[in-house]
Amino acid sequence: MSLKEQYEEVLQQLPSHIQLVAVSKTHPVEKIQQVYDFGQRVFGENKVQELVEKAPLLPNDIQWHLIGHLQRNKVKYIAEFVDTVQSVDSEKLLDEINRQAKKCNRKIKVLLQVKIAEEDTKFGLEVSETKELFLKWLQGNFPNVEITGLMGMATFTDNEAQIRREFSFLKRLFDQLSLQHRLQTLSMGMSGDFPIAIDCGANSVRVGSAIFGERSYTN
Ligand SMILES: *Cc1c(COP(=O)(O)O)cnc(C)c1O
């Protein structure tokens, strides 16, 4: 299948209210430009260096999402242009994003990344930490960030029941926090599990290989 066919096949599986973040990590700017030309505007990268190298070579109305683990000392390189940091997994990181956003005189959107996988390998906040951080923000801390939602990654498994359990868990937390302050974005689901995520209430999905093809190296 061509890049266009793959992209369209993914789009066809997304109800109209679902945001697609096209995960372009490891893929060259030429391919990203093609997907941009098909109409896609939201792209995700998981490494600061790669994002910083690619962004200036591509149209400046792309909304860049940082989706991978972010080290505090690298926030300064993306603060000026990143649209959303999806992978906030500590208060210190949130504090640094706030600090750098203030320097740039802007507000950066962030998602709190919650640990939902039963396997113990992924980054993310515990539920209690998520609630505490959200409350601190509601009380007026970190004024240069806007917490717009939650992000989570399910366990890498063929066990669909387990994936559903993990996504549904995050959806319940999302609904609970939304009672305090309306949240827009529940980011769950990748190439292998996005239809399940949508079924469980995701309204934003991060899809890489189903659009761009397999990555030639792991990242
Ligand atoms: C790579 C990545 C994705 C996309 O993965 P695919 O399986 O290629 O769709 C989504 N989310 C995060 C956090 C990633 O690092």
Q: Each residue of 151-164: pLDDT tens digit?
A: 999 999 999 999 99
Q: What's the distance, CA 170 to chain centroid?
A: 14
Does the reported pTM lie above 0.85?
A: yes
SS3 state of residue 216: coil
pLDDT digits (tens, 9 = 90+) for 47-83: 999 999 999 999 999 999 999 999 999 999 999 999 9
Longest dimension (CA), the chain: 50
Contacts of 219 by beta carbon, 8 Å cutoff, 6+ apart: 25, 26, 46, 47
Nearest to 219 by CA among 44, 56, 21: 44
Average per-residue pLDDT for the chain? 96
| Ligand 1 centroid distance, CA of 146 (Å) | 23
Place 214 in a pLDDT band, splitting at 50, 70 and 90: confident
* pLDDT higher than threshold 70 for residue 183: yes
Structure tokens at 159: 């066990």
Pocket test for ligand 1, best of 35, 67, 190 (most atoms within 8 A of CB): 190
Residue 185 DSSP class = E
Share of the chain above pLDDT 70, in %: 97
Tokens 């203030």 correspond to 102
| Ligand 1 centroid distance, CA of 44 (Å) | 9
**H-run or E-run covering 48:** helix 48-54
Residue 193 DSSP class = T
Alpha-carbon separation of residue 163 from 189, 199, 208 (angstroms): 10, 11, 19
Q: Is 208 in the pocket of ligand 1 (CB under 6 A)?
A: yes
- The CATH number of the structural domain formed by 3-206 is 3.20.20.10
| Ligand 1 centroid distance, CA of 13 (Å) | 17
Q: What is the full DSSP assignment across 62-130? A: -EEEE-S---GGGHHHHTTT-SEEEEE-SHHHHHHHHHHHHHTT--EEEEEEE---SSS-S--B-HHHH
The structural domains of the chain, with segments of one domain joined by +, span 3-206
